[in-house]
Structure 1
Amino acid sequence: MTFELRTYTSAPGRMEDLLQRFRDHTVALLERHGMLSLGYWVPVADTDTLVYLLRHQGTPAENWAQFSADPEWVKAKTESVRHGELVTRIESVFLEAVDFSPLQP
């Protein structure tokens, strides 16, 4: 199983909208497409950043392709960016657990 650490930088003044989209739509849709949310954080010193950790079932590329094509996601994203993009930057790092990690697959 592959883990993925994702970091989003929100557009100025859009962090609450980004959090709301995750709360109302994204988390459930991620799970529907084989991505289990393990946690979400906002750094204390940078409240315009959202960091989260996923555990993928199956292939990450396939999971993201299915997620991106999901009509519910397309609708949620389209509605949420009606007044401008929510995110200016996305960073992604794929990870594999080591043998002593408490987060074993």
Structure 2
Amino acid sequence: MIYEMRVYEAAEGHAEAMRRRFEAEVVPRLPRHGIELLGVFTDDAAPGKLTYLSRFESEDARKHAWASFSADEEWRTVKADSEKNGPLIRQQLVTILTPTVVGLLLS
């Protein structure tokens, strides 16, 4: 099992639109592509950032899931429509986490 943490930093003036799109459009699609969402987090000290944690059976499963998500035509349309006034995300940081202490992790 591996975990992935993604941190999205909104483009200037787009933090709320980024969060709305994530909640309404991204979250419902994740399970369809084999992406298990464990949690979504915000930080009051960094209101333009959105962090989420997901889990995969393996690195191959992670790569396949994101390729499937990226190829989703409905998602591509939603993304394009939501970015008519420019991208909502300025920067994205992806961190792959491999458990080192078994038994202390989320089940």
The answer to whether the aligner puts 1:87 opposite 2:92 as a matched pair is no
**Residues 45-54 or 91-100, more deviating:** 91-100
The answer to whether the aligner puts 1:31 opposite 2:31 as a matched pair is yes
Question: Where does residue 14 of structure 1 map in the other structure?
Answer: 14
* Counterpart mapping for 1:63-74 below 5 A: 63-74=65-76
Please state how far the C-alpha of 1:64 moved relative to its aligned partner: 0.6
- What CA deviation, in whole Å up to 9, does each residue of 1:3-42 have, x standing for no partner? 1000011001101111111111101111111111111111
CA distance in 2, matches of 1:73, 1:56: 21
Contact residue 35 and residue 57 of structure 1 kept, 8 A: no
Q: Give the 3 Å change call, closer, same or farther, for CA 2–46 of structure 1 in structure 2.
A: same
Please state how far the C-alpha of 1:57 moved relative to its aligned partner: 4.2
Percent of aligned pairs with the same residue? 35
The answer to whether the aligner puts 1:102 opposite 2:105 as a matched pair is yes
CA distance in 1, matches of 2:91, 2:54: 18
TM-score by structure 1 length?
0.91
| Unmatched runs of 5 consecutive residues or more in structure 1 | none
Contact residue 34 and residue 57 of structure 1 kept, 8 A: no
TM-score by structure 2 length?
0.90
| Unmatched runs of 5 consecutive residues or more in structure 2 | none
Secondary structure at the counterpart of residue 48 of structure 1: strand
